[in-house]
Amino acid sequence: MKFFRNPPCSVRARYRNLSIFAKVLSGYLALSMALIALTGGLSYILLQRYSEKLYIGDLQEKAQAVADVFSERGGDVSSEAVRGMERLSKAHIVWVDTDYTVHYVPAQDGESDSRGYKSQKLTNEKDRAIADVILVEGRREASIAYVSLLDTRVIFVGAPTRDKSGQVTGGVLLYQEVSNLHGVTLSVGAMLLIALIVASLISMLLALLISRRITQPLSELTRSARYIAQGHYGESVPAAAGDEIGELGRSLNDMSARLSRTIFDLQNEKAKLEQIIADIGEGIVAVNREGEIIHRNSAALDLLEIGRCQKPEASHREHLLDLLSAAMNDRERAETRWVSESGRTIRARVWPIMNAKREIIGAVGLLSDVSEMERLEQMRRDYVANVSHELRTPLTGIQGMIEPLMDGYIETEEERMDCYRIIHQETMRLEKLIGDMLDISRLQSGRLVVEMEPTDVVGIMNCAVRRMKDRAAQCGVDLHVDEAQGSMPLVMGNEDRILQVLVILMDNALSFTPAGGSVTLYARQEGGYVFVGVRDTGTGIDPADMPYIWERFYKADKSRMRTTGTGLGLSIAKLVCGLMKGDITAASEPGHGATFEFSLAISRDT
């Protein structure tokens, strides 16, 4: 098992780098080993001391028995008897008389007296001090010490010998070499060591099991926390235990579930917000406090006319960033406009972004294409001017005729009738203008209902030509129905409204066709529809005007028009065609005329 993640540079660093399992296990093992070592050491010391005490007590009894034998015999004990007592006591026997002469039976017969003893005078002070306790003080002595006479460390017990009057006549010492006692102690110590090793193994196994039991839930908690940090918010761990770790696991599971729900809700809200911002028509650009762009939608890129950008390069884009920076510095809203490379008018409104502490954390800009708005505003102004002009012209004419009549300047009946005729014409002009305005108002509001019925479109075309024949003659333009026009199936529509559309288209064609030109009406069948068209050989429609010809009050270049109008005709025609479930289109090539065509569904009764 690998405990160390990185090579440590010190004991403290080594311990810090240990896993929690290694820390718990090493802690348990260190504590167990320390307790086992302390227990073993104390047990060995106590065992040694107990063995010494027990051994010395046994020697004391034996020493007293030997001393009694020597006392009874007055010290006259044969060497054979001493050897017998040594075998019985399993110790060496030394007899010391009052003049500090030591008598003992050598291991082998050598230089000894007649009784088989070997004698030697005590000269060492420590040895004499031991003998003084026995000979002078007359009491027993037991100890473990180094005896120079024997030149070794021994366990000895001494007891005085006395005569019949109780006087100390000498002393008897029984001794054994310490190595003999150590042999017994080592044997018992070996058994104790084996027991300690077994206890250590058991404690290591228990420490391993306990450490794993404690750290495994913590490892699961760590793994779950790591998964949660990586974005796996629904991760959970088993928390069946009722202890603090189990409570921690349940708390982590609850936190993970709540965090998962919260993140899911936030992601949904973020996705909705991003979708709203991405699909909104206005462009949005946001910058942080350092002026770096942190958000922009596709509309902003389109309005800034760039594909992918982090920092705009054009002057007006740099101006936008400067405006955002100024909004952060001045803490105020600002607005600016510019004309893009494609000719669009862009309006930019910026304001600072503040946090809950009212600190500036960035700025946001809203970009809008106001070209259409400005164009509509210009159209409205033109419409007001045109309507005012159109109303003023007939009213001026009427006023110019009424005043001479009222002042009596008109004397002849012929002049008076001319005035009445002019007043009538201007009144009809006013009526037409007001009628067109009412028609388009009713059409757009949906209040006008068109009754559909099977209708002969060729007959309506001929009727429309007859109605506009005089106007065409005044303009010097040939107006006719296509001679190759054959019969057409009945169509579903309203006769008056079809005629109205044709009159509008013919009037428009006559206005843009110079003298000597022609205007042709035709019809063709395709699929389930009949397409009715008006084709002229006039000046055509400029491509720049083509997208706007169906709008109200829009009028093309007046220099190419024979007469002025209100710009309502084509708008009315488109609305009427829509009410009859049809469509109207225009095609033109400047200088080569224009063709307007609208569709009508073929009647099922055909």
> In this predicted structure, what is the pLDDT of residue 308?
43
Whether the Cβ atoms of residue 112 and residue 86 lie closer than 8 Å to each other? no
pTM: 0.42
> In this predicted structure, what is the pLDDT of residue 556?
66
Question: 100-111 in b/e burial notation, b at 16+ Cβ within 10 A?
Answer: eebbbbeeeeee
Kindly write down the DSSP assignment for every residue of 191-246, as one continuous string: HHHHHHHHHHHHHHHHHHHHHHHHHHHHHHHHHHHHHHHTT-TT--------SHHH
State residue 220 phi and psi, 5-degree precision: -65, -40
> In this predicted structure, what is the pLDDT of residue 113?
55
Residue 312, CA distances (Å) to 308, 333, 587 in order: 9, 21, 40
- Kindly report the three-state secondary structure assignment for every residue of 405-427: HHHCCCCCHHHHHHHHHHHHHHH
Tokens of 340: 């893009």
Q: What is the set of domains in the chain, with CATH numbers?
A: 46-185 (3.30.450.20), 281-369 (3.30.450.20), 374-443 (1.10.287.130), 451-601 (3.30.565.10)
Helix (H) or strand (E) holding 471: helix 469-475
Residues of the chain with pLDDT under 70: 1-11, 15, 75, 107-116, 149, 180-185, 233-235, 237-242, 307-316, 383, 386, 389-390, 440-441, 443-448, 552-567, 606
160-195 pLDDT tens trace: 888 887 788 788 888 877 776 666 667 777 887 888
Q: Which residue has tokens 């026997």?
A: 93
> In this predicted structure, what is the pLDDT of residue 445?
65
Whether the Cβ atoms of residue 557 and residue 544 lie closer than 8 Å to each other? no
> In this predicted structure, what is the pLDDT of residue 447?
66
> In this predicted structure, what is the pLDDT of residue 15?
66
Quote the CA–CA distance of 496 and 504 in Å, as a whole number: 12
271-327 pLDDT tens trace: 888 888 777 778 888 888 888 888 888 888 778 777 544 444 456 677 788 888 888
> In this predicted structure, what is the pLDDT of residue 313?
45
Whether the Cβ atoms of residue 157 and residue 59 lie closer than 8 Å to each other? yes
- 335: amino acid identity, one letter: E
> In this predicted structure, what is the pLDDT of residue 531?
94
Quote the CA–CA distance of 460 and 575 in Å, as a whole number: 19
Quote the CA–CA distance of 146 and 127 in Å, as a whole number: 9
Beta strands 92-97; 334-339: pairing state: unpaired
> In this predicted structure, what is the pLDDT of residue 477?
92
> In this predicted structure, what is the pLDDT of residue 480?
92
Q: Which residue has tokens 């005012």?
A: 388
Quote the CA–CA distance of 81 and 518 in Å, as a whole number: 171
Question: Comparing C-alpha atoms, which of 335, 298, 330 is closest to residue 319?
Answer: 335
> In this predicted structure, what is the pLDDT of residue 292?
84
- Starting at the edge strand found earlier in the chain, the sheet holding 92-97 runs 118-121, 101-104, 92-97, 168-177, 152-162, 141-147
Quote the CA–CA distance of 148 and 213 in Å, as a whole number: 62
Quote the CA–CA distance of 538 and 515 in Å, as a whole number: 9
